[in-house]
Structure 1
């Protein structure tokens, strides 16, 4: 579940924005008045959105943006001058904040954070060096024994993996076991 963290120097302003978002159907919203409190909350969750002003008592928004975990988006709230100085990499809305703009922007950004998180979860995890060695050794044996190119050996392991419904590391281990058992 994603979280929305509202970090503004005046806690009353943060609570006001929290109340607006709650009234518009958002859940899991935390308000705080320091960047360190925002970071503590962000590190408790896997994804979300940080709404921040230009300068908090303990940190500048750009420092906060660098410190927030992956799968968190950042929304800057500030004057037109502040927002224009922020550059193009940060999503921002100007003060005075219009409720319609705030709600739509938060909805868009929370959706983006959720999408990035789900996309990253679908990526296969990185193989360990040991797992890479199993595949490499199986390829080398297939290349030597069956006179295959490296690409053909890889494709063979990949096809066997798909046909048997096992991952490539398990298939490479089976290939190694079969070839060594023949010797």
Structure 2
């Protein structure tokens, strides 16, 4: 599930940003004051955004970014001088942060995240060699027993898997079982 983690060295800063986000409909975890707390929390969650300050007592934002799991992005809130040295893959906001800017930036990051997830979901899965061999074996059976071309056998498996609500590999396994039973 998509989550937002807020972390700043001062608890009051983290709590106030969390309250702003919660009031505007975001799901936010407990405020953190250490980089290690953020990393631990992020490892327990699937994916999301870390809204944080420049430096914690235990680590720098760049170290924190390196420790974050794959599904997390960072929104760095810092003074303009500190932002000059920020990394390319981190979204930055200048201090003092305006509520409107914070909400718009989070909305943009959330939208980009959802688009990326949709693209990943729409991308066809790659099949293992074993799955490819199962489909090929079923096509050979259909070609041999029903005098189909390779393309017709493939379309047969595809259509029947769609009609029955199973994936193509499962349909190929059914064809193979029917032939050998």
TM-score range, shorter chain: 0.7 to 0.9
Cα deviation, residue 37, structure 1: 0.4
The 1:118/1:67 distance shift into structure 2, 3 A limit, reads farther
Worse overlay, 9-18 or 111-120: 111-120
The 1:168/1:25 distance shift into structure 2, 3 A limit, reads closer
The number of aligned residues is 180
Gaps of 5+ in 1: none
Structure 2 counterpart of 1:16: 16
TM-score, normalization: structure 1?
A: 0.75
Cα RMSD (Å) of the superposition? 3.1
Residue 55 of structure 1 aligns to a residue whose secondary structure is: coil
The 1:170/1:29 distance shift into structure 2, 3 A limit, reads closer
Residue 85 of structure 2 aligns to a residue whose secondary structure is: helix
Deviations 1:89-108 (A, max 9, x none): 21110112122211222233
Cα deviation, residue 135, structure 1: 1.9
Worse overlay, 21-30 or 35-44: 21-30
In 1, Cα distance between equivalents of 2:7 and 2:81: 20
1:105 partnered with 2:105: yes
Structure 2 counterpart of 1:148: 149
Residue 59 of structure 1 aligns to a residue whose secondary structure is: coil
Contact 2:8/2:56, CA 8 A, preserved across alignment = yes
In 2, Cα distance between equivalents of 1:26 and 1:90: 20
The 1:19/1:135 distance shift into structure 2, 3 A limit, reads same
Contact 2:76/2:93, CA 8 A, preserved across alignment = yes
In 2, Cα distance between equivalents of 1:47 and 1:117: 11
Q: What are the equivalent positions in structure 2 for 1:117-156 lying under 5 Å apart?
A: 117=117, 120=120, 130-142=130-142, 146=147, 148-149=149-150, 152-156=152-156
Gaps of 5+ in 2: none
1:49 partnered with 2:55: no
Contact 1:3/1:28, CA 8 A, preserved across alignment = yes
